[in-house]
Chain A
């Protein structure tokens, strides 16, 4: 594999690009100073993904991107929602809600899918479908705190702000829109996408449910405090007071379970409907107890 090629692919992951029209700062009248905790996830490409609903539809996945001048919404999503771009490429969403509660009204967006997004989606790079980008005209309505050690960002509502306009004359004098650069990004995207067929990311599968409450008082012992009545664990015959020493999934016996973290780790891949065998210490005797992990429990 050509390393240079990989390196240029990395350039594709950068979502900074330009919208060559005055991006208006827009947003509803929600109170300045309101603090929102905004959930995000980190994509495989190290992009910060935030979910948003547009006109009540969605949620859709957006990259939080100070390198983008505006909110971008992919054309197919806008079409599904029924928002059509005007001749200048801008469309308006009556209501945009960010996960965590922040709401913006009459939000202007570029309705298009930039080359970088097309490429990332075609190759399945991010591990999740990206539907657009949250850029300046949305982000500038907030003071934004990012901390990767925390599961949520903190966004504080501020008064929106406007950009100084760039005149058409100046634009012309300074070379106009970067059509060549954009064309380069697009050709790179096409080449990369043709080489790497998309490997669709399978939908996540819920873990199976047992219905045991565990005692957390001793760090080096896993003891059942309560078995929920009618739960898969109760049906299988686990009892309060049982001391769990091993979990066997499939034919091969599991390894010793010394603490809660180890049990969690071993139980993590068990999907609903899977039959597992707990080895428990009860009244001084070691017993095997088979439990079929339940569906839809938590």
Chain B
């Protein structure tokens, strides 16, 4: 049993090493962005080798959409289908897995898309020429994505991130039990106590443990912490959220207000609880 587990571990380790050169060779892919007069941005997209189609690049869309017309053109739905309307009078043709979606020379395979005539996309198309859908989070989250409005271009570099299906999250939100309170805790040991500052924004330092990271970093009782790692700390929860995200041992910028003056300190939180 143990041997088999070890063997699996070795194989897993090999897989990781194999991935490293691949990752470091990650290429930069650039594609033109078209700025519509409505302030939206469109990209040319090849789907299953066909096209190019013209889709809105939308960081506010969790999913990728294609219009029923586009789905018909790709042979994903029959010409009769797509007439059916869902609640709210939207024209839609269900879901499809797109074998290949390319923006410029960046390709994502097996991308889930919703076939739907989004009313806003249709309206924009009426004004700015045919639009075929929306490229959303499910596509761009796989990349280090750079949006350059001035240069009218978008750049994609593959990163190690697989977007989760938004459907699951929504199902649990709508049909799960009452949401549970999240417990938030710092990732490392700072060695201080804090309380909500009664009048001002910010969190008040009420205690510094001698010899701790906080003490070493120069924090003092009475300091009001305004930001931690450039994150606002207006409430205790803000402070815990911010400290949950910083790494142990790294120099973390802490902006405090002391005697009415702003002060920038550096604290290296330590391993502990």
Is the CB of B99 closer than 8 A to any CB of chain A? no
Whether B170 contacts A6 by the Cβ 8 Å rule is: yes
Residues in B whose Cβ lies below 8 Å from that of A284: none
- Residue contact B147 to A143, C-beta cutoff 8 Å: yes
Query: A285 in the interface, Cβ–Cβ < 8 Å?
Result: no
Contacts of B187 in A (CB 8 A): 264
Q: Which residues of A contact B61 (CB under 8 A)?
A: 13-16, 67
Please classify how large the interface on chain B is, using the bins under 10, 10 to 19, 20 to 34, 35 or more: 35 or more
Q: Residue B100 at the A interface, CB < 8 A?
A: no
A81 within 8 Å of B (CB atoms): no
Q: How far is the CB of A65 from chain B (nearest CB, A)?
A: 3
Chain A residue with Cβ nearest B196: A296
Check B169 against A44 for contact (C-beta < 8 Å). Answer: yes
Asked if A175 contacts B87 (CB within 8 A), the reply is no
A interface residues, how many (CB within 8 angstroms) = 116
Q: Across the interface, which residues of A come within 8 angstroms of B171, CB to CB?
A: 6
The answer to whether B35 touches A174 (Cβ under 8 A) is: no
A5 (CB) vs chain B CBs: closest residue = B87
In the bound complex, what is the Cα–Cα distance between A19 and B194 (angstroms)?
44
Give the nearest-CB partner of A32 in chain B: B150
A295 to chain B, nearest CB (A): 8
Contact in complex: A143, B145 (CB < 8 Å): no
Is A178 in contact with B60, judged by CB distance below 8 angstroms?
no
Cα distance A177–B123 in the bound complex, in angstroms: 8
Q: How far is the CA of A260 from the CA of B189 in the complex (A)?
A: 13
Q: A11-B116, A39-B230 given as contacts; is B206 within 8 A of A146 (CB)? A: no
> Is there an interface contact between A201 and B179, defined as CB atoms closer than 8 Å?
yes
Point out the residues of chain B lying under 8 angstroms from A77, CB to CB. none
Determine if B136 is an interface residue (Cβ-Cβ < 8 Å): yes
Whether the pair B38, A69 counts as a contact (CB closer than 8 A) is yes
Across the interface, do A164 and B37 meet the contact criterion of CB distance under 8 Å? Answer: yes
> Could you tell me if B60 and A140 are in contact, using CB atoms closer than 8 angstroms?
no
CB pair A13–B180 under 8 Å, yes or no, is no
- Contact yes or no, B236 A148, CB < 8 A: no
**Contacts A16-B56, A64-B59, A165-B37; is A46 near B137 (CB within 8 Å)?**
yes
Contact of A147 among B144, B166, B167 (CB under 8 A): B144
Please tell me if the beta carbons of A206 and B184 are within 8 angstroms of each other in the complex: yes
Whether, in the assembled complex, A99 has its beta carbon less than 8 Å from a beta carbon of chain B, the answer is: yes
A181 interfacial by beta-carbon distance below 8 Å: yes
* Chain B residues positioned under 8 Å from A15 (CB to CB): 58, 60-61
Also in contact, A39 and B121, with CB within 8 A (given A67-B56, A143-B150, A205-B184): no
Do B170 and A9 have beta carbons less than 8 Å apart? yes
B13-21, B74-82, B102-110, B237-245: which lies at the A interface? Answer: B237-245
Known: A127-B173, A263-B273. A14 touches B136 (CB 8 A): yes
Please tell me if the beta carbons of A101 and B230 are within 8 angstroms of each other in the complex.
Answer: yes
User: Which residues of B, 119-176, contact A by the 8 Å Cβ criterion?
Assistant: 119-124, 126-127, 134, 136-138, 140-141, 143-151, 159-161, 163-164, 166-167, 169-171, 173-175
CB distance from A293 to the nearest CB of B (A): 9
B89 at the interface (CB under 8 A from A): yes
A147 touches B145 (CB 8 A): yes
Query: Given contacts A69-B39, A184-B88, is CB(A298)–CB(B240) below 8 Å?
Result: yes
Min C-beta distance of B179 to chain A, whole Å: 5
Given A4-B87, A214-B273, A66 and B147 contact (CB-CB distance below 8 Å)? yes
Of A45, A69, A147, which is within 8 A of B62 by CB? A45
Contacts A67-B61, A148-B159 given; does A163 touch B37 at CB 8 Å = yes
**B residues lining the A interface (CB < 8 Å):** 35, 37-41, 56-63, 65, 86-90, 92, 94-95, 114, 116, 118-124, 126-127, 134, 136-138, 140-141, 143-151, 159-161, 163-164, 166-167, 169-171, 173-175, 178-187, 189-195, 206-207, 209-212, 229-232, 234, 236-237, 239-241, 243, 245, 248, 270-273
Known: A17-B120, A226-B211. 16 other contacts (CB 8 A): A4-B87, A10-B167, A10-B170, A11-B90, A23-B39, A44-B173, A45-B62, A46-B166, A66-B59, A67-B134, A99-B232, A147-B159, A175-B127, A206-B183, A226-B272, A271-B183
Kindly list the 10 A-B residue pairs having the minimum CB-CB distance in the complex, ordered from nearest.
Answer: A181-B119, A207-B185, A178-B123, A188-B88, A65-B60, A136-B39, A67-B58, A69-B39, A15-B60, A46-B62
In the assembled complex, 15 residue pairs joining A and B whose CB atoms fall closer than 8 Å, in A order, are A9-B170, A10-B166, A16-B61, A39-B229, A46-B137, A123-B173, A124-B179, A136-B39, A136-B40, A158-B150, A181-B119, A202-B181, A207-B184, A229-B209, A264-B187
